[in-house]
Structure 1
Amino acid sequence: MDTTVEPRLLSVYVNDHVTGATAGLGRVQRMASAYEDSTLLGPPLARFVGEFTEERQWLIRTGASLGVTRNRPKALVAAVAEKVGQLKLNGRAVEQSPLSPLLELEILRGAVFGKLSGWETLEAHADELRLSAEQVAHLAHLQRQAVAQTETITGLLESLRPQAFSGSAPGDA
């Protein structure tokens, strides 16, 4: 098995994950603002904003330590795509659809699964990448955090599903 790291492939991989982190952070910031008054959604989303911010910053710093040059146009495209993704037709011109929090959380859970896989891949290649013991330990922390985020989102989805097709906004969400 060839364990040589191809810098171009590493750059694409890290930049793709930074792009995903940028889009995920944008989504969770918007959701935290939209649902800040919800006792169900507000607190975990506010926590996620801090966690997603820290994760993105760590990934950028780690990429730089690996010699990866940031692809800023790709990150900009992700941010724009996230904004465009918010312009969905939900059948309601002024008010939010009761499906909005459910769909947004489903998308968010997919993003968390994606970043978990990224942390696992970086850890699997820690030796070839010459990651420090501190970086490897932080990857383990990031993996545990992503699992906890997934569990939180899954619990929120379970709370929202019974009302998904009721035609009215979720009671407290």
Structure 2
Amino acid sequence: MSDKTYAPPQARLATASDVQRPFYVVSKTKFMTLFMLTFGLYLLYWAYKNWQQFKQASGQPMWPIARAIFMLFYTHALYREANTLIKKNGRRHDWLPWDLASQFVVILLISHGLDGMSNRHPDNLWLDIASVALLPIQALVTFKGQRGLNAAAGDPQGESNARFTPINYVFMALGATLWCTMLYSMATTVN
């Protein structure tokens, strides 16, 4: 007979990588860099990852891809879920999720409106400039919401996702190339 027969059972402790976070966590530097260098296209990935992780953590049936594509209609719900989780876990995070989601939606609508007008009037440089000038404002407003998502996931600073991955560098290089091309085009149009 084995001496281990009467030994207490050994539990396998979960590592940080085993724990499923309920929301996508990202640091400010990584978020802002990817947002700006991809001209805001990072938002699609951001919304998808948030809903995908929420679906896995909560078990609720949903289509994360659809919620990402229609983020305009689902951002209030995303922030509300994060706020509910913050309160449920006895944490505190000073944010106004409804207001931040509303600001996100308004800026997204303005951005799409400017892009649409720019496409209809390609010779109007001012529409392009306004669209580019709105990008950092949109990034800051979105990151304020991300801070709430980070808090709900138990990582307020986003330290668990602060490092850039090889795929991040690929998109950053493509984005930097696009930025250079766009700025060169704008500069030559002005002259």
TM-score (norm 2): 0.34
- Normalising by structure 1, we get a TM-score of 0.36
Structure 1 or 2, whichever has the larger Rg, is 2
